Each structure stands twice: as structure tokens, then as C-alpha cells.
Amino acid sequence: MATSKVLGYLESRKNLTGGACGVVGLVLTFTGVAGPYWPAVVAGLYGAGALVAPPERPALPDFPSPSAQLDAIRADFGKLRGYLAHVDLPATSAEWLAEIAELLTALLEPGWVAEALVQDPDGVHTVSRAVRQDIPEAVDAYVRTRWWTRMTPGTESPEHHLDRQLALLREEAEHLVTDLRDREARRQESHTRYLEERNN
């Protein structure tokens, strides 16, 4: 710990600026300007340089890499599937969820699709939000509301709301898949044009 602090100071702007000013003091000493007070001149210039040195830049925060984000989303998606396996859902909702899960599995499976997804921060956010927020909240709201509707007949069924929410989530996932596919197609076309222009 103490060694790292010493090494950190040696590499700091204060030490480097102070050292440069101290070298100026040594030059003054060798040219005879500092005279017998050269140690005070060198130390004073070093101290002055350390005081006027620009402040240290704070270290950049260590954000997880996009691939690490996808690994975390995959792990959370596994937890979500375990949760959904124990929830009693209507047949239509279960079908919607199965289709959404299939799309998310295809997006998160390691390979070129996941690599394309990593290049799209908005896409990663969409998948993360679907896995960690939208799907679990929709299902949990259905499970909680279903019990109350038995006591208040005549209200709109929670099944209808769940099906509508899942349909919207499926549509969002399909849009993401389409966008990624179109982006890859454009990238391939661009590379083809580049090769054609290079050979002309």
C-alpha cells in the first residue's frame, strides 16, 4: 500500500513538474547563479513547481465491457426463465412468452448476432430492459391482479392486459432483430462496394 502511494507520487504531475523546476535549479547552480545557497534554490524551485502543477486527472470509471454486459443479461435471462417456469399463465400468454423467449435466446446466444448486438448500445438496453424489467413486471402484475379480479367482476381481465403487453414486447424484439439484420446487410454491401472500388 505504501509502495503504491510512493510510486503514484513519483508518476504524479506534482513530482514531474517539481522535478523539472529542480533541474532548472541545478542548471543555475552549475552556472554559478545559485551560489552557496544552491540546495535551498533547488528545493525551493522543486516545491514551487509542485505547487503550480496542474491537478491530477481523476481515473476514468471502470465500466463493464459490452460483452460482459451481455454475459450478465444472459445470466439474468436464465433466472427469468426459471421464474416463468413456475408461473401459471393462460395458453395465449404462454405462447407469446415462448416467442419472446425464442427471440431473446437468438439475440443473446454467443455468435455473430450477439456480436452485432454488442455494437448497438440501444439494442443492448432494449434486451436488458425486457429481461430485467418489462417481462417480469408484466407477469408479476398479472399474477397479483388475477386474484383481485375474482373479487371485482366486470373489470377488464388481467389476461387481456398481459397479452397486450407481451404482444408489444414481442413486436419490440422483432424490430430489434430486423434492425440488426438490416445493419449487417448494409455492412456486407458496403464491404462489397469497397472491394469492387479497390479492384478498379
Q: What is the 3-state secondary structure (H, E, C) of the chain?
A: CHHHHHHHHHCCHHHHHHHHHHHHHHHHHHCCCCHHHHHHHHHHHHHHHHHHCCCCCCCCCCCCCHHHHHHHHHHHHHHHHHHHCCCCCCHHHHHHHHHHHHHHHHHHCCCHHHHHHHCCHHHHHHHHHHHHHHHHHHHHHHHHHHHHHCCCCCCCCHHHHHHHHHHHHHHHHHHHHHHHHHHHHHHHHHHHHHHHHHCC
Place of cell 514531474: 16
Indicate the range of 9-23, 160-174, 185-199 predicted with least confidence. 9-23
Q: Where residue 183 falls among pLDDT bands split at 50, 70, 90?
A: confident
State the Cα–Cα distance between residues 103 and 108, nearest whole angstrom.
9
- Picking from 17, 113, 33, 40, the residue whose alpha carbon sits closest to that of residue 70 is 113
Taking CA atoms, 24 is separated from 34, 37, 49, 84, in Å, by 11, 14, 10, 72
Average pLDDT over residues 158-171: 91
Q: Exposed (0-12), middle (13-18) or buried (19+): which is 25, by Cβ within 10 Å?
A: buried
List the grid coordinates of 101: 423467449
The C-alpha cell that represents 193 in the structure block: 462496394
pLDDT at residue 187, rounded to an integer: 81
| Residue 64 pLDDT level (bands cut at 50, 70, 90) | low
Over 80: is that where the pLDDT of 129 sits?
A: yes
Average of pLDDT values for 187-193?
81
pLDDT of residue 149: 65
Q: Share the mean pLDDT of the chain.
A: 82
Can you tell me the distance from the alpha carbon of 8 to that of 12, in angstroms, rounded to the nearest whole number?
A: 6
To the question of pTM greater than 0.75 for the whole model, the response is no
Residue predicted with more confidence, 88 or 9: 88
Looking up cell 427469468 gives 80
Q: How far is the C-alpha of 67 from the C-alpha of 62, rounded, in Å? A: 14
pLDDT at res. 154: 65
pLDDT per residue over 34-48, tens digit each? 677 777 877 877 888
**Would you state the pLDDT for residue 51?**
78
Q: Report the distance separating Cα 179 and Cα 174, nearest Å.
A: 9
Judged against a pLDDT cut of 90, whether residue 13 lies above it is answered with no
